[in-house]
Amino acid sequence: MKQILDRFISYVKIHTTSDPEKEQCPSSSRQFDLANKLVDELKELGLEEVEIDEHAYVMATLAANTDKILPTIGFIAHMDTSPDYNGAHVNPQIITNYDGKDIPLNKEKTLSIQYFPEILNYKGETIITTDGESLLGADDKAGITAIVSAMEYLINHPEIKHGRIRIGFTPDEEIGRGADLFNVEKFKADWAYTIDGGGVGELEYENFNAAGAKINIKGKSVHPGYAFNKMINASLIASEIVAALPKDETPATTEGYEGFYHLTKISGDVSHAHLEFIIRDHNMEIFNKRKKIIEDLCQSLNEKYKENLIELQIEDQYYNMKKKIEPVKYIVDYAEKAMLEANIKPLIKPIRGGTDGAQLSFKGLPCPNIFTGGHNFHGPYEYIPLESLVKATEVIVNLCKIIEQEEKVVKEDL
């Protein structure tokens, strides 16, 4: 456990926040700091084919130690942290033998059991938190930690037989670009697992269909004293758009399979206003209807004001990987078995978001998602129980072992 803890702490202390305003990949050059560290570490551990490309994608191989002809499986995690909150100067706090009480992070912030009651599930365990000044970065440095630690364990325990294993670490997942330049052909895996989920037991092979909408509004600025029948206030039109969307279909009012409209940015004055939304739904038909609602709304307002004042851009971002996973559902079954062998009850549920695995599944690499153990990602209340991170590592080891033991799963059957 100490080795896993030390590895995790060393990763989260490296600032890797991605930058949605930059077009290059990686969007922030600081992601190379972690990527290069991982390359050195993987080589030192004895992995083969350790490579990093010009975009900071890291790949490596753990060679098979069995005579069986087996599929190649992969494990993938992302190196960047979310730009939603400060990711610099991460200073983790370690609470051993957690007593079930509130955890003060600093003078202003407290990890409260009233607000975050699920932390009580980890009473008696070692909890890693922030100091309230940054996010922690368990999303997804916990995933990286689990993968590297599992590879190290397999290397040190050659009695555990396994097929060829590929690992990959990606940049810019948090800004939706993690899989954009991932070379599936070079990775050469039959399927993979992203290690990028939340609490213990989470196993996901469904995610949102996702789109982003940008709305630019042109107004007409006239002196307010002479504005009658002349002024068109762009900010008021923006408020009309927001008010016209269902108030009970936001991230804060939906759960499970329920989709939403999420206003992520708003700015403006009389002359110009700008709105940005993300649109999400698990059901493709409803997803397309959501996009149409925004299109129709913008068109109706242009008709109302008798001018093309509103310009709308909608772009699809990723799709529900369920379509690609269901034909090879046995890869999810293996993950279930690996959890049960670790005395974990699998919690199969839809992802209310997306992972690199969603895009990779549509690029030909089926890729369900497995837990890391972390909670409250993207903010100062993020934490992870060390024991949960150890369990994530154990599940990866179990997966490699179980697949090797399943003699029916040979290359010719795929």
Query: What 8-state DSSP symbol labels residue 17?
Result: B
Q: Residue 291 corresponds to which amino acid?
A: K
- CA separation for the pair 40, 202 (Å, rounded): 31
Long-range contacts of 23-29 (CB under 8 A, 24+ apart): 25/55, 25/56, 25/171, 25/172, 25/177, 25/180, 25/181, 26/55, 26/56, 26/80, 26/171, 26/172, 27/80, 27/171, 27/172, 27/175, 27/177, 28/80
Contacts for 150-153: CB closer than 8 Å, 24+ residues apart: 150/75, 150/393, 150/394, 150/396, 150/397, 150/400, 151/42, 151/45, 151/47, 151/62, 152/45, 153/393, 153/397
C-alpha gyration radius of the chain: 23
Of 208, 194, 200, nearest to 332 (Cα)? 194
Please state, in angstroms and rounded to a whole number, the distance separating the CA atoms of residues 393 and 200.
11
Enzyme catalytic residues? 80, 173
Q: Is 176 left (phi over 0), alpha (psi -120 to 50) or beta?
A: left
Q: Please tell me what DSSP assigns to residue 232.
A: B
**Phi, psi angle pair for 170, to nearest 5°:** -115, 150
Listed residue (135, 95, 105) closest to 15, CA to CA: 135
